[in-house]
Structure 1
Amino acid sequence: MHKSQPTNLTELTKAEIAVWLNSFDTVLTDCDGVLWHEGVAIDGVPEAIALLKSLGKEVYFVTNNGIKTSGEIWQTATTIGYDIDESRILAPIKAIAEYLQARNFRKKVYIVGSEAISNGLAAVGIESFGPGPEILQGKLNDYLAQQVATQDTDDVGAVVVGFDEHFTFAKMLKASNYICSNSECLFMTTNLDTVHRYPAFRIPGTGALLAGLETCVERKALQFGKPNPEICRALIRSEKIVPQRTLMIGDVCEIDMLFGHKCGFQTLLVGSGPSSDYEFNVVLKNPNVNEEYIPDFVVPSLGHITKLI
Structure 2
Amino acid sequence: MDEERYKNVIKACCLDIDLQNFGEVGDLLMIGDKGVSLSGGQKARISLARALYADADLYLLDDPLAAVDPKVAKNISDQSIGPQSFLHRKTRILVTHQTHFLVESDQMLLMTNGHIDELHIEQQPTIEPSNETLETDSSNDKETDFVLNTSITDINSIVKSVTSVEATISKLGAFAFDVVVVDVEVEPAQPIVTSPKAVCKAQMSTKELCIHLTELHAKSLLNDNDTFLFDCDGVLWNFPHIFTGAVELLNYLTEQGKRLFFVTNNSTTTQDDYAKRFNDIGYKAKPEQIICTAWLTAKHLKSINFKGKCYVLGMQSMKYELEREGFQICGGIGPDPLPSDSNAVTVDKLELEKDVDCVILAFDLHISYIKILKAATYLNRPNVLFIATNDDARHPQNDEIVKPGTGSILASVVIASCRSPTILGKPHAPMFDAIRLAFPDVDPKRTVMIGDQVETDIAFGNRQGTTTLLVFSRATREKYLDTLKQQVEKHTAERDLLPHFCVKDVEQFLQFLKSNESNTLL
TM over 0.5: yes
Q: Secondary structure at the match of 2:358?
A: strand
Q: Post-superposition shift, 1:209?
A: 0.9
User: Using the alignment, how far apart are the partners of 1:151 and 1:210 within structure 2?
Assistant: 20
User: Using the alignment, how far apart are the partners of 2:349 and 2:398 within structure 1?
Assistant: 44
Q: TM-score, normalised by structure 2?
A: 0.54
Report what 2:396 is aligned to. Answer: 197
Report what 2:411 is aligned to. Answer: 211
The number of aligned residues is 298
Say which of 251, 262, 281 aligns to 2:479: 281
Alpha carbons of structure 1 residues 16 and 111: separation in structure 2 relative to 1, 3 Å:
closer
Maintained 8 Å contact 1:40/1:80: no
Instruction: Deviation per CA, 1:155-200: give whole Å up to 9, x if none.
Output: x1111111112211111101111111x2221111111111113223
Say which of 41, 46, 60 aligns to 2:242: 41
Report what 2:369 is aligned to. Answer: 169
Instruction: Deviation per CA, 1:129-150: give whole Å up to 9, x if none.
Output: 21222223324342x1211xx5
User: Using the alignment, how far apart are the partners of 2:252 and 2:363 within structure 1?
Assistant: 34
Range moving further from structure 2, 252-261 or 192-201: 192-201
Q: Is residue 2:297 matched to residue 1:96?
A: yes
Structure-to-structure mapping, 1:107-256, within 5 angstroms: 107-128=308-329, 129-137=331-339, 138-142=342-346, 144-147=347-350, 150-154=351-355, 156-180=356-380, 182-200=381-399, 201-236=401-436, 239-256=440-457
Say which of 13, 18, 32 aligns to 2:219: 18
Alpha carbons of structure 1 residues 305 and 108: separation in structure 2 relative to 1, 3 Å:
same
Q: Post-superposition shift, 1:116?
A: 1.0
* Amino acid corresponding to residue 194 of structure 1 in structure 2: A
Report what 1:76 is aligned to. Answer: 277
Q: Secondary structure at the match of 1:22?
A: helix
User: Using the alignment, how far apart are the partners of 1:225 and 1:41 within structure 2?
Assistant: 24
User: Using the alignment, how far apart are the partners of 1:236 and 1:152 within structure 2?
Assistant: 36
User: Using the alignment, how far apart are the partners of 2:417 and 2:431 within structure 1?
Assistant: 25
User: Using the alignment, how far apart are the partners of 2:431 and 2:417 within structure 1?
Assistant: 25
* Amino acid corresponding to residue 294 of structure 2 in structure 1: I
Q: Secondary structure at the match of 1:276?
A: coil
Q: TM-score, normalised by structure 1?
A: 0.90
Structure-to-structure mapping, 1:261-300, within 5 angstroms: 261-273=462-474, 275-277=475-477, 280-286=478-484, 287-288=486-487, 289-300=493-504
Say which of 280, 303, 309 aligns to 2:507: 303
User: Using the alignment, how far apart are the partners of 2:287 and 2:256 within structure 1?
Assistant: 21
Q: Secondary structure at the match of 1:43?
A: coil
User: Using the alignment, how far apart are the partners of 1:251 and 1:27 within structure 2?
Assistant: 14
Q: Post-superposition shift, 1:305?
A: 2.3
Structure 2 unpaired stretches of 5+: 1-198, 488-492, 514-522
Instruction: Deviation per CA, 1:30-51: give whole Å up to 9, x if none.
Output: 1111112113321111101111
User: Using the alignment, how far apart are the partners of 1:15 and 1:218 within structure 2?
Assistant: 51
Q: Post-superposition shift, 1:111?
A: 1.4
User: Using the alignment, how far apart are the partners of 1:243 and 1:187 within structure 2?
Assistant: 28
Q: Post-superposition shift, 1:104?
A: 4.4
Maintained 8 Å contact 2:454/2:476: no
Q: Post-superposition shift, 1:15?
A: 4.1
Maintained 8 Å contact 2:271/2:295: yes
User: Using the alignment, how far apart are the partners of 1:15 and 1:259 within structure 2?
Assistant: 25
User: Using the alignment, how far apart are the partners of 1:300 and 1:19 within structure 2?
Assistant: 18
User: Using the alignment, how far apart are the partners of 2:283 and 2:497 within structure 1?
Assistant: 28
Alpha carbons of structure 1 residues 268 and 140: separation in structure 2 relative to 1, 3 Å:
same
User: Using the alignment, how far apart are the partners of 2:507 and 2:334 within structure 1?
Assistant: 38
Compare relative contact order (CA 8 Å, sep 6+) and give the higher one, 1 or 2.
1
User: Using the alignment, how far apart are the partners of 2:306 and 2:430 within structure 1?
Assistant: 20
RMSD: 1.9
Maintained 8 Å contact 1:284/1:294: no
Q: Secondary structure at the match of 1:135?
A: coil
User: Using the alignment, how far apart are the partners of 2:304 and 2:500 within structure 1?
Assistant: 38
Maintained 8 Å contact 1:95/1:224: yes
Q: Which has the larger radius of gyration?
A: 2
Q: Secondary structure at the match of 1:140?
A: coil
Instruction: Deviation per CA, 1:261-283: give whole Å up to 9, x if none.
Output: 0000000011122x233xx3224
Identity %: 30
User: Using the alignment, how far apart are the partners of 2:305 and 2:218 within structure 1?
Assistant: 48
Alpha carbons of structure 1 residues 197 and 103: separation in structure 2 relative to 1, 3 Å:
closer
Maintained 8 Å contact 1:93/1:120: yes
User: Using the alignment, how far apart are the partners of 1:90 and 1:20 within structure 2?
Assistant: 22
Maintained 8 Å contact 1:39/1:76: no
Alpha carbons of structure 1 residues 240 and 234: separation in structure 2 relative to 1, 3 Å:
farther
Q: Secondary structure at the match of 2:224?
A: coil
